[in-house]
């Protein structure tokens, strides 16, 4: 019998509001502990929440982007449990009436087929603070800066059957929330986190097996590894005649394994009830339509447009459409240079290489899209060769100026003076008599390949600046003249 995994995901996306969901404290990342936790965040006696309208707008925008039902009346509930980084002793969340109901996303599998993954719901809630266990010997330190940061919890249907599908789904949601501008998507800072529910069963069975939940995994790679590991662990247990315990597990990236969470061992009774400090959120068609009007183009639509408008390949279009900033950059380069194919090659090639090497976000690229477009124009008008362009690009990256400035200051302008090129060609022919002899004695249809040697020598002599077309033409003319005696 063959095993099959059943995977459902809960994604927590921090909404990119300036202030918290229920207080006026800042949500900026990385501040000194507890300097962004106000009286409301600390749950001082008597303090009360007031809901941030921007969090509502962002949640509705997400709902529209996944073609979901929108909750015209949604209600905040209290989820009661004690934990030191949960100041009120309850988390304000939405259980009974979430802001976003059922929707879906389509993911592309490795074999190119499209699979639809259902989204059960997405609801608003507040983040907890952070518990720091390593700072002190016998104590845990509590930092409440993150407490009250708005989260959109996106719950999928258990529709995925492999770690790869799960990752494709997570990437898709990541692309959507970042494209919408509602989440910065920074997984390392915890802005986008994932809990993975995994169970296994024999293929063809209807019933789900007991599942485990692996919490707070913060990279695409770890999600894949954690799920794969968990599937193997469960199959091993079941094949040994064991039983899967329904439990919450914590993924340890250092050991690449999950382990049960001590703090979640006891069965919880969260005693949900509607939060009496907050009133029902009621929105109407006007509100939804206003939000809908701001819906930006999403990756799927953009990919189709790129193929249509720019004649990109399926693969190039997929890569370049995934993220708003990347797409925008590409389009600016393509329009500036008036050459989409060249723009795609450079954005996916040289630019991506340097961004990766320097761990730089495309928003912070030292070479702007306009500047890169300007460089490509110089290739197209034969001012420089493609090879020199890479050199110019590196100089631009290093802050040495625009393409034209670098070309000028480094004297990289292509040599097109036919007199100068002819003398370099003559020099090379004179200096390489054995190769000239080989060329002359070769069958005419073999000569084409042999010309590359002389090309290399001339380009070397010109430090890459000679116009390759002119060089090639002259070489062929002169060598053929020798051969034909």
Partner 1 sequence: MLDKTLAELAQGLATGEFSSVELTQNYLDRISAEDGTLNSFITVTPEQALAQAEAADQRRAAGNVDVFTGLPIAHKDIFCTQGVRTSCGSKMLDNFISPYNATVVEHFNQAGAVSLGKTNMDEFAMGSSNESSFYGPARNPWNTDCVPGGSSGGSAAAIAGGLTPAATGSDTGGSIRQPAALCGITGLKPTYGRVSRYGMIAYASSLDQGGPMARTAEDTAMMLNVMAGFDPKDSTSLDQPVPDYTLKLNDSLKGLKIGLPKEFFSGEIDPQITAQVQNAIREFEALGATVKEVSLPNTHLAIPAYYIIAPAEASSNLSRFDGVRYGYRCEDPVDLEDMYKRSRGEGFGEEVKRRIMVGTYALSEGFYDAYYKKALQIRRLIQQDYVNALSEVDVIMGPTTPHPAFKLGEKNSDPISMYMEDIFTISLNLAGMPGISVPCGFANGLPVGLQLIGNYFAEERLLNAAHQFQQATDWHKQTPGQ
Partner 2 sequence: MSLDRTDVEKIAHLARLNIAEQDIQEYAENLSNILDLVDQMQAVDTQDITPMAHPMDAIQRLRLDEVTEGNQRDLLQTVAPAVEAGLFQVPKVIE
Residues that bind partner 2 (CB under 8 A): 17-19, 23-26, 31-40, 42, 44, 50-56, 82, 84, 131-133, 135-136, 138-144, 250, 261-263, 269, 271, 274, 276, 278-282
Q: Report what 132 binds from partner 1, partner 2, none; CB cut-off 5-8 Å by kind.
A: partner 2
Angle at 13 between CA 9 and CA 14, to 5 degrees: 155
Q: Report what 391 binds from partner 1, partner 2, none; CB cut-off 5-8 Å by kind.
A: none
Q: Report what 434 binds from partner 2, partner 1, none; CB cut-off 5-8 Å by kind.
A: none
Length of the chain counted residue by residue: 485
Q: What is the separation, in whole angstroms, between the first and last Cα of the chain?
A: 77
> Closest approach of Cβ 275 to partner 1, in Å?
8
> Is 148 an interacting residue with respect to partner 1 (CB under 8 A)?
no
- Give me the helix-helix angle, 324-337 and 314-321, nearest 10°: 120
Q: Report what 48 binds from partner 2, partner 1, none; CB cut-off 5-8 Å by kind.
A: partner 1
CA gap 317, 304 in Å, rounded = 8
> Closest approach of Cβ 164 to partner 1, in Å?
37
Sign of CA dihedral 318, 324, 325, 331: positive
Q: Report what 446 binds from partner 2, partner 1, none; CB cut-off 5-8 Å by kind.
A: none
- Residue whose pair of structure tokens reads 């703090």 in the numeric block: 263
Q: Report what 88 binds from partner 1, partner 2, none; CB cut-off 5-8 Å by kind.
A: partner 1
> Closest approach of Cβ 195 to partner 1, in Å?
21
- Part of the chain binding partner 1 (CB under 8 A), chosen from 45-53, 59-67, 332-340, 398-406: 45-53
Query: Between residues 58 and 144, which has the closer beta carbon with respect to partner 1?
Result: 144
Radius of gyration (C-alpha) of the chain in whole angstroms: 30
Non-local (6+) Cβ contacts of 111 within 8 A are: none
Q: Report what 139 binds from partner 1, partner 2, none; CB cut-off 5-8 Å by kind.
A: partner 2
Query: Between residues 131 and 218, which has the closer beta carbon with respect to partner 1?
Result: 131
Q: Applying CB under 8 A, which of residues 18, 116, 221, 271 lies at the interface with partner 1?
A: 271
Query: Between residues 222 and 393, which has the closer beta carbon with respect to partner 2?
Result: 222
Sign of CA dihedral 26, 51, 58, 196: positive
DSSP state of 249: E
CA gap 304, 312 in Å, rounded = 10
Q: Report what 388 binds from partner 1, partner 2, none; CB cut-off 5-8 Å by kind.
A: none
> Is 26 an interacting residue with respect to partner 1 (CB under 8 A)?
no
Q: Which of 271, 163, 170, 154 is nearest to 226 (CA)?
A: 163
Please count the CA atoms within 13 angstroms of the CA of 274 that sit on its side-chain side: 11
- What burial letters (b/e) apply to 43-55, b meaning 16+ CB within 10 Å? beeebebebbebb
> Closest approach of Cβ 329 to partner 1, in Å?
41
Query: Between residues 52 and 414, which has the closer beta carbon with respect to partner 1?
Result: 52
The 275-294 site mask, x for binding partner 1 (CB under 8 A), equals: -xxxx---------------
Q: Report what 78 binds from partner 2, partner 1, none; CB cut-off 5-8 Å by kind.
A: partner 1
Q: Report what 136 binds from partner 1, partner 2, none; CB cut-off 5-8 Å by kind.
A: partner 2
Q: Applying CB under 8 A, which of residues 5, 43, 180, 458 lies at the interface with partner 1?
A: 43
Query: Between residues 270 and 453, which has the closer beta carbon with respect to partner 2?
Result: 270
Q: Report what 90 binds from partner 1, partner 2, none; CB cut-off 5-8 Å by kind.
A: partner 1
Query: Between residues 152 and 275, which has the closer beta carbon with respect to partner 1?
Result: 275
Total number of residues that touch partner 1 (CB under 8 A): 30
Q: Applying CB under 8 A, which of residues 18, 28, 35, 89 lies at the interface with partner 1?
A: 89
> Is 54 an interacting residue with respect to partner 1 (CB under 8 A)?
no
Query: Between residues 269 and 443, which has the closer beta carbon with respect to partner 2?
Result: 269
Extended beta strands in 212-304, E state: 212-217, 247-252, 257-260, 273-274, 281-282
Among positions 240-269, residues that touch partner 1 (CB under 8 A) are: 269
Return the number of other C-beta atoms located less than 10 Å from residue 248's C-beta. Answer: 17
CA gap 125, 148 in Å, rounded = 8
The CA distances from residue 339 to 319, 380, 404, 469, in Å, are 17, 9, 19, 20
Return the number of other C-beta atoms located less than 10 Å from residue 259's C-beta. Answer: 11
Q: Is 56 helix (H, G, I), strand (E, B) or coil?
A: helix
DSSP state of 268: P
> Is 202 an interacting residue with respect to partner 1 (CB under 8 A)?
no
> Closest approach of Cβ 89 to partner 1, in Å?
2
- Residue whose pair of structure tokens reads 């989260």 in the numeric block: 151
> Is 80 an interacting residue with respect to partner 1 (CB under 8 A)?
yes
CA gap 416, 469 in Å, rounded = 10
Contact 388, 412 (CB under 8 A): yes
Q: Which residues bind partner 1 (CB under 8 A)?
A: 39, 42-51, 78, 80, 82, 84, 87-90, 140, 142, 144, 269, 271-273, 276-279
């Amino acid at each position: 019998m063959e095993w099959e995994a059943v995977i459902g995901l809960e994604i927590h996306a921090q909404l990119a509001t300036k202030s918290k969901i229920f207080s006026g404290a800042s949500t900026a990342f990385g501040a000194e502990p507890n300097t962004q936790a106000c009286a409301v965040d600390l749950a001082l006696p008597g303090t009360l929440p007031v809901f941030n309208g921007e969090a509502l707008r962002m949640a509705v925008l997400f709902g529209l982007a996944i073609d979901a039902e929108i909750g015209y009346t949604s209600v905040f509930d209290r989820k009661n449990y004690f934990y030191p980084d949960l100041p009120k002793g309850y988390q304000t969340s939405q259980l009974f009436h979430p802001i976003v109901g059922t929707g879906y996303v389509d993911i592309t599998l490795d074999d190119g087929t499209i699979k639809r993954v259902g989204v059960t719901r997405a609801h608003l809630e507040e983040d907890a603070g952070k518990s720091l266990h390593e700072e002190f010997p016998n104590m845990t330190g509590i930092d409440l800066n993150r407490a009250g940061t708005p989260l959109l919890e996106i719950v999928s249907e258990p529709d995925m059957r492999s770690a790869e599908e799960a990752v494709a789904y997570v990437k898709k949601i990541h692309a959507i929330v970042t494209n919408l501008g509602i989440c910065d998507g920074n997984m390392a800072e915890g802005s986008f986190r994932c809990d993975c529910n995994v169970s296994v069963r024999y293929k063809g069975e209807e019933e789900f097996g007991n599942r485990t939940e692996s919490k707070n995994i913060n990279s695409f790679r770890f999600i894949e590894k954690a799920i794969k590991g968990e599937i193997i662990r469960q199959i091993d247990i079941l094949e040994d005649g064991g039983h899967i315990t329904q439990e919450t597990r914590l993924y340890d990236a250092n050991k690449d394994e999950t382990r049960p969470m001590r703090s979640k061992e006891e069965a919880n009774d969260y005693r949900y009830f509607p939060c009496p400090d907050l009133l029902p959120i009621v929105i109407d068609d006007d509100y939804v339509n206003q939000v809908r009007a701001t819906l930006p183009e999403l990756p799927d639509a953009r990919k189709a447009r790129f193929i249509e408008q720019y004649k990109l390949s399926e693969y190039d279009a997929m890569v370049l459409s995934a993220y708003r900033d990347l797409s925008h950059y590409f389009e600016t380069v393509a329009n500036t240079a008036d050459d989409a194919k060249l723009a795609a090659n450079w954005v996916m090639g040289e630019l991506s290489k340097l961004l990766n090497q320097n761990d730089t976000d495309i928003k912070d690229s030292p070479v702007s899209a306009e500047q890169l477009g300007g460089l490509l124009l110089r290739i197209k008008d034969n001012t420089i060769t493609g090879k020199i362009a890479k050199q110019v690009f590196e100089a631009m990256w290093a802050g040495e100026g625009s393409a034209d400035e670098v070309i000028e200051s480094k004297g990289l302008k292509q040599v097109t003076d036919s007199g100068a090129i002819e003398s370099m060609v003559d020099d090379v022919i004179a200096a390489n008599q054995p190769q000239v002899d080989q060329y002359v004695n070769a069958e005419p249809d073999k000569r084409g390949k042999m010309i590359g040697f002389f090309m290399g020598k001339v380009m070397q002599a010109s430090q890459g600046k000679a116009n390759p077309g002119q060089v090639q033409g002259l070489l062929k003319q002169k060598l053929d003249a020798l051969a034909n005696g």
